[in-house]
Amino acid sequence: MPINKNKLDDIDKIIYDIHKLLDAEKEREINAIMAENVGGGAAGKTEHDPSAQGIPAQDNVEKGLEGGSDYKETLKRLRRKLNVPEPEEAPSSQGESEALVSEDVLIDELLKEKQGRAPSRRNAPVVDSIKALADEQVREEQPQVIQVSQDKNVSTNFLGVGLDVGTSNLVASRITQSGQDIVVNRNAFLNVREDASTIDILSRLNIPRQVVGGKSCVIGKDAFEFSNFFDRITQRSMNIGVINPFEREAIHILNLLVQKMLWQPQIPNEICCFSLPASPVDNAIDINYHKNVVETMLSCFGYEPMALNEGYAVVLSELKDRKFTGVGISCGGGMVNVCITYMAVVIAEFSIARGGDWIDLFASKALDMSSTKVSLVKERGMSILKPEDREQESIAIYYKQYIRYFLEQMARILKESDKNVQFEEPVDIVFAGGSSMVGGFIEAVRRELKTIDLGIPINEVRLAEDPFTSVSRGCLFNAQMASKNGK
Ligand SMILES: Nc1ncnc2c1ncn2[C@@H]1O[C@H](COP(=O)(O)OP(=O)(O)O)[C@@H](O)[C@H]1O
Ligand SMILES: [Mg+2]
């Protein structure tokens, strides 16, 4: 049956407003508790304000109701919109639309949520909580994933898995007898309400719901598509290269997504080599917590985890014919990862905390549209050298700023570095990652390099063979080498 988009938009706006009401109410409660206990009201907010790092975790707030002062007003508006009478006139029978907007129902929901909330996994040690998650998921979903095959006669040619754990996308790869298997999913999710309207919309769109931490959500590619359909912003389990500290269920969501993508290990402790960002040079992000979380996760799935620098993964997959000498750069959603090598030996590796998300965020502000929609415009195919409309033009402006920024950061670091980055011969610079795939990217880089001196003799600036899977293939290469060499 065709979906009436206008009707769905209306329903969605209402659901969205109710979300905001609940959030506003929750925030008031939290602030009251904070004020009581530490006398700080929303004092903790600044410290945890993601926008302090340039990327708001929940842009949704901007489009919804701010704070709680509009609570009654919005309820009235919702009632008017749905033609529901004010409470004193309300009949006692419970129609579906009434249930949707009744203040009592909202408060009831809040109380239920507060009382029924499972003990927070957040405070449990990472190892314990991930093990608990794995058990939970095995009970609920796919027991096969951790049932390790006992066949020890698998050829080492086929052993090893590569996993690109990216801020925007997860890419798993392995070699099978029929060739290379690559599985991709968006590293995204979206909490959804469990009311009849939302369930109906999801089932019409054929989008499965998951329950994570007691809350309904859609995950992966579905979350991205659902968000786009309603011009919403997806939630992320990772932010700027590492586990997102602003999402309570980040670890659980990542665990679920990775588990659904990975194959059953072919032997106990088959190596799974995963990408790890380098520490950023322009932001105080520590990668060790994130590393520990991913390692624990993979161990729980029966794999032997092996971390590999993301830029080095690009070197491994793209610079084989250059004796692994040159510069590998991964331009992802959250970061730019740079690795400079000589004969596979790392001379320098670092990251810059700016990526596609930064472009989306600033272009979305200029265009007054959701950053998820900006991603879609970017990914549908455009050239930053020949933008064709206002949306593309705004994206192109921020893209060029982004390119100039990371090249300047690279030049600064390489000049300050005490490492000896002196190549006898000019070397290749290879770009990988989704953000390098926009039309005109390499040409824009080449133009900037006419005025920015990286301090490295450059032979060729080029794009990876398949930029999107390059990091994962580099990880796979490393996993295969380690498997063949018995680690
Ligand atoms: N064809 C494309 N053109 C431009 N940008 C793209 C394209 N495909 C993906 N992207 C962007 O690349 C980023 C994701 O790249 P990816 O390498 O998957 O990042 P990560 O490894 O951080 O998850 C996102 O910002 C996405 O919008
Ligand atoms: Mg990636």
DSSP string of 206-254?
A: T---EEETTEEEEETHHHHHHHHHTT---EESEETTEE-TT-TTHHHHH
Q: Pairing state of beta strands 326-331 and 427-432? A: parallel
Structural domain includes residue 368: yes
Q: Is there a domain that residue 436 lies in?
A: yes
Q: Determine the pLDDT at residue 40.
A: 31
Which amino acid is residue 419, in one-letter code?
K
Q: Does residue 65's CB lie within 6 angstroms of at least one atom of ligand 1?
A: no
From 167, 310, 379, mutation site for ligand 1 pocket: most ligand atoms within 8 A of C-beta: 379
pLDDT tens figures, 107-122: 444 444 434 444 444 4
Looking at the fold, whether 466 and 366 belong to one and the same domain comes out as yes
- 112 and 181 belong to one structural domain: no
433 lines ligand 1 (CB under 6 A): yes
The pTM of the full predicted model, rounded to 2 decimals, is 0.74
pLDDT grade for 322, boundaries at 50, 70 and 90: very high
- Is residue 470 in contact with ligand 1, taking CB distance under 6 Å? no
Quick one: 284 and 387 in the same domain? Answer: yes
Are residues 65 and 174 both part of a single domain?
A: no
Q: Is 197 contained in some domain?
A: no
**Residues 315, 382 within the same domain:** yes
CA atoms within 13 A on the CB side of 106: 22
Q: How far is the CA of 448 from the centre of ligand 1 (A)?
A: 21
CATH code of the domain containing 352? 3.30.420.40
Ligand 1 pocket check for 167: Cβ under 6 Å: yes
For 84, the domain range is 5-117
Task: Give the ligand whose atoms come closest to the C-alpha of residue 163.
Answer: 2
Expressed in angstroms and rounded, the spacing between residue 285 Cα and the centre of ligand 2 is: 18
- What is the layout of strands, in order, in the sheet containing 210-212? 210-212, 215-219, 188-191, 235-236
Residue 213 Cα to ligand 2 middle (Å): 26
Is residue 224 domain-resident?
no
Read off the pLDDT of residues 420-471 as tens digits, 9 standing for 90 and up.
Answer: 567 889 999 999 999 999 999 999 999 999 999 999 999 999 999 999 999 9
Give the range with max mean pLDDT: 66-75, 172-181, 187-196, 306-315. 306-315
How far apart CA 145 and CA 264 sit, in angstroms, is: 5
Show which of 117, 151, 169 is a domain's final residue. 117
- Look at residues 72, 89, 117 and tell me which one is the last residue of a structural domain: 117
474: region left, alpha or beta (phi > 0 left; psi from -120 to 50 alpha): alpha
CA of 330 to the centre of ligand 2 (A): 8
Can you tell me the distance from the alpha carbon of 234 to that of 124, in angstroms, rounded to the nearest whole number?
27
For atom 9 of ligand 1, the residue with the nearest CA is 434
Q: Are residues 174 and 60 part of one domain?
A: no
For residues 42 and 175, membership in a common domain is answered with: no
Same domain, 261 and 336: yes
pLDDT tens sequence across 410-420 = 999 998 876 65
For ligand 1, say whether the CB of 378 is within 6 Å of any of its atoms: yes
pLDDT band, residue 363 (cuts 50/70/90):
very high
Asked if residue 27 and residue 92 are part of one domain, the reply reads yes
Instruction: Using the mean position of ligand 1's atoms as its centre, give its distance from the Cα of residue 208 in Å.
Output: 24
pLDDT of residue 3: 41
Question: In total, how many domains does the chain have?
Answer: 2
Residue 459 lies in a domain: yes
The residue among 418, 477, 454 whose CA lies nearest residue 327 is 454
Assess if residue 222 is contained within a domain: no
Between 443 and 147, name the one with better pLDDT: 443
Q: Which of 163, 167, 169, 254 to mutate to test the pocket of ligand 1 (most atoms within 8 A of CB)?
A: 169
What ligand 1 atom has the least distance to the C-alpha of 171?
A: 18
Distance, in Å, from the CA atom of 231 to the CA atom of 219, rounded to the nearest integer, reads: 16
Tell me 277's DSSP state. P
Please report whether residue 416 resides in a domain: yes
On whether both 136 and 180 belong to a single domain, the answer is: yes
Whether 248 and 322 map to the same domain: the answer is: yes
* Together in a domain, 155 and 24: no
In a domain, 243, yes or no: yes
Rounded to the nearest angstrom, the distance between the alpha carbon of 456 and the centre of ligand 1 is 27
